[in-house]
Amino acid sequence: MPSPAVAGTGAATTAGAATPAPGTRPGARRWAAWAAYVVVIPVLLYLTPHVYNNQLLLLNLVVYLVLAQGVNVIYGFTGYLPFGYVGFFGAGAYGTSMAVIHLHTGGTVAVLIGAVVSTAMAVVLLPLLRLTGAYFALASLAASQAVYLVIANPSLTSFTKGPYGVDLSRVFNPNLAYLYAAILLAVATAVVVYLRNSAFGLSLRAVRADPLTASVAGINVARARGIAWLASAVLAGLAGGISAWVTSVFYPETVFAINISVFAIVFALFGGVGSVLGPVFGGIILYSLYEYIGVSSPQYFQFAYGLLIVILMLFLPGGLASVARAARSLWERTGGRVHRRA
């Protein structure tokens, strides 16, 4: 392990590159650009079914992009890695299902109730934020598995349907669900834009860098982390609810599969956490690759994915966003010079 001093300078330079002058107030044009990101990608994705009509595949893609942005919110801005992120997704899915089955609501209301359930779960789990690092990561995984085992327990069959699965086909409406998913992606991206550009986002990053200094500087550390945690839970809960709505008939293991956490984390990391578009592009590229490998040579899938993670962490810990940033600064240096000469 190198001395802390070396690690410190490394972190400082990376952080400097990642967030160029975080204090500067973005101009109106910059805001317009951010707004365009928030709107354009979801709109394009929303229109894609007109040219490629496997809407369910696109919906799952959008759901994963939302989850990747959710991981971005909590991990990218606070450093808390939620291995159990799927717990919120599953809680949202089951909250939605219970609303449809017991309260006889429509899909829209049910999805919102699902988000309420996942938020409630996040409130109950707030004490987990007292843990750090690997403790938090594994404790959140344990919490998600505990919730799954409770829901799937046969003694609760009359309420959750236990291991026997739920049927939401009564409210099936894939077109509306897809519209909501696209809107949710816009919301998720907007949350990240806000965190990138607001005083609150800045304070989160200050907490991530050094909680002690941040609290001395007057930041309410617990509150800042708690808000990010709840925001990421709401996103996952809504994603889970929408996903449940279109999956329609499913079992507890479907919506609590640890793979869902893993994909969300890997998509976010591959794109680059802390950036606005990294998780979106990371998700689009890897999900397409997943569908492609899955169809052509699936036996190598797990192997290829594992290897990708290893290579990513060893050689590209900043994800695609860091490559894009490097390319951009190179482009600007050369491009800028050319411009000035001309």
Partner 1 sequence: MLFGYALIAGVLFGLFYAFMSTGLNLLFGVLRLVNLAHGDIVVFGAYVAYSLSSMAGLNPLLAIPITIVPALAFGVLLYYGTVPRLNRSQDTEMASLILFFGVSQVLEAVATFAYGNNQASLSPTTFGGPINILGEHVPATWVVCGLLSIPALVVLFVYLYRSRLGMATRAVMASREEAAAAGINTRRVAALAFGIGVAFAAASGALTIFMLGGVNPSTGSELVLTAFTVVVIGSLGNPIGTVVGGLLYGLVFTFTKTYSPSWADIVPYLLMLVVLLVRPTGILGRRVRSA
Partner 2 sequence: MPLSLLSRQRSRRSRRWLRSTVAVVAVGALAAACGSSAKKGSTSTGSSQSTLTVGTLYAGSGDYSASSLPEYEGLQFWVNQVNGQGGVTIAGKKYHVKLVAYNDQSDPTTAATLYNQLLTQNKVDVFVADFGSVLTAPAITIAKEHHQVLFDPTGSGAVFFSNGANPYVLLTSLPTSAVWPNVAVDFLLSEHVTKVAIIYGTNDFDGSQAATIKKGLEAKGVTPLYYQGVDSKTSDYGTIIQTVKDKSPQAVIELGYENNDIAFLNDLRSAGVHFPFVLTPFPAQLPDLFAKDVGTAGLAYTFAYGVPPVLQINNVNYGMGFTAFSKAFSAAHGGATLNFLDVAGYNAGLVIQDSLAHAKSTKQLDIRAGAAALSGKLRTLMGSFVIDDTGEQLGELLPVAQYFPNGGFKIVYPADQATTKPVYPAPAS
Interface with partner 1 by CB under 8 A: which residues? 1-2, 7, 10-11, 14-15, 75, 79, 81, 127-128, 130-135, 137-139, 141-143, 145-146, 149-150, 153-155, 258, 262, 265, 269, 299-303, 305-310, 312-314, 317
Residue 276 tokens, joined: 């606005």
Helices (H), 198-257: 199-209, 211-216, 221-247, 252-255
| Torsion sign across C-alpha atoms 294, 297, 299, 303 | negative
Question: Using CB distances below 5 to 8 A depending on partner kind, what does residue 259 bind out of partner 1, partner 2, none?
Answer: partner 2
Q: How many CA atoms lie within 13 A of 250 on its CB side?
A: 21
CA distance 114 to 185: 17
> Measured from the CB of residue 124, what is the shortest distance to partner 1 in angstroms?
11
Question: Using CB distances below 5 to 8 A depending on partner kind, what does residue 342 bind out of partner 2, partner 1, none?
Answer: none
Judged by the rule CB under 8 A, the positions of this chain that interact with partner 2 are 20-21, 24, 26-27, 29-30, 33-34, 36-37, 40-41, 44-45, 47-48, 51-57, 60, 149, 152-155, 161-169, 172, 174, 243, 246-251, 253-254, 257, 259-260, 277, 281, 284, 288, 291, 294-295, 298-299, 301-302, 328, 332, 336
> Measured from the CB of residue 303, what is the shortest distance to partner 1 in angstroms?
4
At residue 220, φ and ψ (nearest 5 deg) are: -80, 95
- Closer CB to partner 1, residue 130 or residue 170? 130
Report the 10 Å Cβ neighbour count for 83.
20
Question: Using CB distances below 5 to 8 A depending on partner kind, what does residue 22 bind out of partner 2, partner 1, none?
Answer: none
- Closer CB to partner 2, residue 8 or residue 306? 306
Question: Using CB distances below 5 to 8 A depending on partner kind, what does residue 21 bind out of partner 2, partner 1, none?
Answer: partner 2
- Closer CB to partner 2, residue 246 or residue 273? 246
> Measured from the CB of residue 21, what is the shortest distance to partner 2 in angstroms?
7
CA distance 285 to 263: 12
CA distance 143 to 326: 39
Residue 237 tokens, joined: 């809960």
- Closer CB to partner 2, residue 200 or residue 251? 251
Find, among 25, 34, 23, 11, the residue nearest to 276 by Cα: 34
Cβ–Cβ under 8 Å, residues 276 and 34? yes
Question: Using CB distances below 5 to 8 A depending on partner kind, what does residue 199 bind out of partner 2, partner 1, none?
Answer: none
> Measured from the CB of residue 326, what is the shortest distance to partner 1 in angstroms?
16
At residue 324, φ and ψ (nearest 5 deg) are: -60, -40
Question: Using CB distances below 5 to 8 A depending on partner kind, what does residue 220 bind out of partner 2, partner 1, none?
Answer: none
Query: What's at 70, amino acid-wise?
Result: G
Find, among 74, 110, 72, 75, the residue nearest to 93 by Cα: 110
Instruction: Look at residue 79 and give its three-state secondary structure.
Output: coil
> Measured from the CB of residue 258, what is the shortest distance to partner 2 in angstroms?
11
